[in-house]
């Protein structure tokens, strides 16, 4: 903890206002106690930012715990509850809402710093998960100790500490905290890495978290260099929302992808969380396609449109009436995709398993029709697709473009992401996933 203390006193100035992100758990309470210990010496104004992600029943008691600590230590308490999420990407959307909260607080209190309690084990988990599932150069680097947000900086003073070191600090100093029981459940990917993977690395080298930090820093430096280069050249290929295809393809592929990401930022702004690597790959394929005129569907009613040597995004025209043959891959008007896969352990409604002997091929994916009915898996009789949409609280504007998978006899096999039919079976030779 000495290094974290030195880091703080070297960066934070006299009479500064600082924001501390605090969940009430052992990590953030250790960080908050450290700030409280230097509060009087540095004449700091400390604002504690507590976020209720609205996914656990204990959230209200955790809020009260942090609030009581703030009252006892003369700290400003700021609270945000995330009321709802879209269906696209929970983690990404939650992160964006957290940063928006930090942005607003930094402006409100004229703060130079936001402190978070991310530690060395967190960094290892993040890097390993992204290596396994795939990411960008920036993603593989995990997260940085210092992040410049323009008007303020995010500082992560505990990044050189392990979880065990933080718990030991809490115990030695009598620091109370709350426990999130979901951190011990194997259903969460990060928990499995924490419980089963990290101990193997630590057994090989007790200082392995520092090795991961060095790895993160090196990748971060390379990523920063590429980003600065892209900023210096992007105006030559991307003007007023239009990308010059021939010019951009003269760059190396890694630069092209970074330029495409900038293009998505330009069009999507605060809604960037709905964009995945799959969308970027689709647009890249559009760039290199031999077809001079084509388009792909993107989230939130956008299309990426290639017209000879120009590529731009526009609002989709009416796509409430469509039908595509479902082979290995289909890009859908709602910006999502259906892809044939060889195997998956996913049993959610985002996956369907079919036996070709029990359905009539070829299969199709289309918009809904009046009178559509489906034999829902696990239920007797059929139900109207309209009623299924209503029960699942699907907004009216999404129902008309929501994909319906049918066979050649027009039997409704699957409403991706919502319900599977009685045709879903483990004795399958066809598997599709929706993402």
What separation in angstroms does the CA of 95 have from each of 99, 117, 123?
Answer: 6, 15, 16
Q: What is the pLDDT of residue 230?
A: 96
Q: What is the pLDDT of residue 43?
A: 92
Number of residues that make up the chain: 435
Residue 85 has pLDDT above 70, yes or no: no
Residue 126 has pLDDT above 90, yes or no: yes
Helices (H) and strands (E) in the chain, counts: 15, 22
Say how many C-beta atoms besides its own lie within 10 A of residue 139's C-beta.
18
The percentage of the chain sitting over the pLDDT mark of 90, rounded to a whole number, equals: 70
Residue 102 has pLDDT above 70, yes or no: yes
Residue 99 has pLDDT above 80, yes or no: yes
Crossing angle of helices 208-233/120-133, nearest 10°? 60
Q: Which two tokens stand for residue 333?
A: 């008007």
Q: Rounded to an integer, what distance in angstroms lies between the CA atom of residue 160 and that of residue 2?
A: 10
Span 139-178, pLDDT tens digits: 899 999 999 999 999 999 999 999 999 999 999 999 999 9
Could you say which of 3.20.20.140, 3.30.70.3400, 3.30.465.60, 3.40.190.10 is the CATH number of the domain covering 237-315? 3.30.465.60
Span 6-28, pLDDT tens digits: 888 788 888 889 999 999 999 99
Helix (H/G/I), strand (E/B), else coil: 415: strand
The mean of the pLDDT values for the chain is: 91
Helix%, strand%, coil% for the chain, nearest 5: 45, 20, 35
Confirm whether pTM is higher than 0.75: no
Q: Which two tokens stand for residue 275?
A: 């964009």
Q: What is the pLDDT of residue 316?
A: 64
Q: Rounded to an integer, what distance in angstroms lies between the CA atom of residue 21 and that of residue 388?
A: 40
Q: Rounded to an integer, what distance in angstroms lies between the CA atom of residue 253 and that of residue 238?
A: 16
Identify which of 25, 31, 24, 38 has the alpha carbon closest to the alpha carbon of residue 4.
31
Q: Which two tokens stand for residue 179?
A: 């426990």
Domains 2-221 and 237-315 share a fold: no
Domain extents in the chain? 2-221, 237-315, 323-434
* Cis amide bond preceding 308, omega within 30: no
Compute the average pLDDT of residues 295-311.
89
Q: What are phi and psi of 98, to 5 degrees?
A: -65, -45
Q: What is the pLDDT of residue 91?
A: 67
Domain 2-221 fold is: Rossmann fold (3.40.50)
The percentage of the chain sitting over the pLDDT mark of 70, rounded to a whole number, equals: 97
Compute the average pLDDT of residues 54-81.
92
Q: What is the pLDDT of residue 398?
A: 85
Residue 366 has pLDDT above 60, yes or no: yes
Q: Rounded to an integer, what distance in angstroms lies between the CA atom of residue 271 and that of residue 264?
A: 10
Say how many C-beta atoms besides its own lie within 10 A of residue 133's C-beta.
10
Q: Do residues 409 and 364 touch, judged by C-beta distance below 8 A?
A: no
Residue 88 has pLDDT above 60, yes or no: no
Q: What is the pLDDT of residue 401?
A: 87
With b meaning 16 or more CB within 10 Å and e meaning fewer, what string describes 395-422?
eeeebebbbbbbbeeebbbbbbbbbbbb
Give 300's pLDDT tier (boundaries 50, 70, 90): confident
Q: Do residues 284 and 262 touch, judged by C-beta distance below 8 A?
A: no
Residue 274 has pLDDT above 90, yes or no: no
């Amino acid at each position: 903890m000495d290094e974290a203390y030195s880091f703080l006193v070297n960066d934070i100035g006299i009479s500064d206002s600082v924001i501390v992100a605090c969940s009430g758990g052992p990590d953030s309470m250790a960080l908050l106690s450290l700030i409280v210990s230097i509060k009087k010496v540095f004449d700091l104004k400390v604002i504690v930012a507590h976020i209720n992600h609205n996914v656990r029943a204990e959230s209200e008691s955790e809020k009260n715990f942090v609030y009581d600590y703030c009252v006892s230590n003369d700290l400003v308490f700021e609270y945000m509850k995330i009321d709802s999420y879209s269906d696209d990407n929970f983690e990404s959307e939650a992160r964006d809402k957290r940063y928006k909260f930090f942005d607003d607080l930094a402006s409100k209190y004229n703060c130079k710093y936001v402190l978070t309690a991310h530690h060395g084990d967190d960094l290892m988990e993040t890097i390993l998960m992204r290596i396994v599932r795939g990411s960008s150069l920036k993603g593989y680097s995990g997260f940085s100790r210092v992040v410049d947000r323009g008007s303020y900086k995010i500082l992560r003073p505990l990044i050189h500490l392990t979880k065990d070191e933080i718990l030991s600090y809490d115990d030695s100093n009598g620091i109370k905290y709350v426990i999130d029981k979901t951190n011990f459940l194997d259903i969460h990917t990060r928990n499995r890495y924490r419980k089963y993977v990290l101990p193997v690395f630590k057994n090989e080298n007790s200082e392995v978290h520092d090795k991961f930090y060095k790895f993160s820093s090196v990748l971060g430096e390379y990523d920063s260099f590429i980003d600065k280069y892209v900023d210096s050249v992007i105006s030559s290929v991307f003007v007023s929302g239009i990308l010059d295809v021939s010019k951009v393809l003269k760059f190396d592929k890694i630069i092209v992808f970074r330029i495409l990401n900038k293009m998505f930022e330009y069009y999507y702004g605060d809604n960037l969380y709905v964009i995945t690597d799959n969308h970027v790959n689709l647009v890249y394929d559009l760039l290199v396609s031999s077809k001079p005129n084509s388009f792909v569907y993107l989230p939130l009613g956008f299309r990426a449109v290639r017209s000879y040597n120009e590529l731009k995004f526009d609002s989709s025209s009416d796509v409430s009436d469509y039908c595509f043959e479902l082979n290995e891959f289909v890009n859908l008007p709602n910006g999502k995709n259906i892809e044939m896969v060889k195997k998956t352990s996913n049993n959610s409604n985002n996956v369907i398993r079919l036996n070709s002997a029990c359905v009539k091929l070829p299969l199709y994916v289309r918009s809904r029709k009046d009178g559509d009915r489906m034999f829902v898996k696990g239920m007797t009789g059929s139900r109207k697709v309209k009623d299924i949409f209503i029960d699942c609280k699907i907004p009216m504007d999404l129902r008309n473009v929501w994909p319906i998978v049918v066979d050649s006899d027009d039997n409704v096999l699957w409403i991706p992401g919502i319900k599977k039919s009685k045709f879903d079976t483990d004795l399958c030779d066809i598997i599709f996933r929706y993402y």
